[in-house]
Structure 1
């Protein structure tokens, strides 16, 4: 999800319907239970402003009607609610040291170990936002596969809760200025530049799409995949969870990783005091310990 609560305009939407204390408390509980995000009392006006847009989109007259929709059909609106109260912050090759470690140390070793033709390699981008992270991973993976010259069944799973973020990731089209973190060589190789009415846009190369599967997933709910994954990226997501939620999530991640496999967190996230199943091996890079 790579989501942060929006601080840019906390007074937005105050001229519309008023979010009463009872409805706000219901929304706080609902968002925490279903999304893992703890909303403080100070977020009252912010939530009112952000969700006023959803009321207009749904044709609802007040927040009571919106809360009733969540009570009766929670899954229908969950993704839109998550999108409304959060802002997806991401970039190509964000925290570049993670991708350097993957390209220079981990992928060469893994591909050498997968000697049998058709061996599988799986990386999970958990909280993929609008696709910049998984497509960055796909570039690194595609280049590593070319260097190794071996037939490996390699795929990246990219998941998020936000329908808007997933739609952008599926589309794979970005303003050229969003490619600032991509080297000139990779821009030429992995992006198709738009012309005419599409000038100023760039589309990811079809080969990157072939390596990437994008799907909706709530990290707090059941996971359909069984693993194992060779690596998991879950960056700038858990910082907004409370301690018990983080502990449960780290334990679940450990269940999908073999011993020695890495879990990548965001620059301001840490497992300190939260899990004894991982050990720190680099800048916000953790490795699953042996049992």
Structure 2
């Protein structure tokens, strides 16, 4: 019976990932649906595995005996998740060690770590307490008003704790990379994350100035093998640059929040635990 529960959870996860991404609607609606479709399947699988582990290898459910096979599947999935988490933590630790070796400088009232390179780069680097990292090339290339727009964008990532939440989302994404449309959902959320930060920045700076700053980044993309772990940057895919600029110039001020999708998410991840009372040792 436990194996049947695992199959049902797997079918649910695949079915959710087969739901097409929203191609229309405002950014608020796209954010909610994309976040739900990325997060819900792995959480359903994790909760199912934990429920099976809690029931053990003995006993029966609805007349069907438990088995070591289903228990081993659940244990293997949880162990895999732990190993992925350890790997991601090691990468974050390596990034933290790299930035701690960089010099510090005040940039428009913000303490920043300075990369002594010519390419334009800005990012919040870290997990729980990220630090602002900018390159020397960015400081020397942008004037004060455009640099202020870039800093305002990075401050938005800090205020929304994007480094922490997207670190968690990266773990869930890696855990279920084999499910359909995982990479597509991930790229959509990365875009919406940047749009959210852009819209926050427009409260502090002129939207046209911010759009010009994005164009500058797009013309001179970041590349450095020495700082390959500094991935949480203001990077721009040229294919989606127009979407970001349109969002910056749009008058829609609706915030990107979780909304009612959160309640649906909680309902789905609690479903596996409903089966536990039906297990008898």
TM-score (norm 2): 0.31
Q: Which has the higher helix share?
A: 2
Give the number of the structure with larger relative contact order, counting CA–CA contacts within 8 Å between residues 6 or more apart: 2
Q: Which has the higher strand share?
A: 1
TM-score (norm 1): 0.30
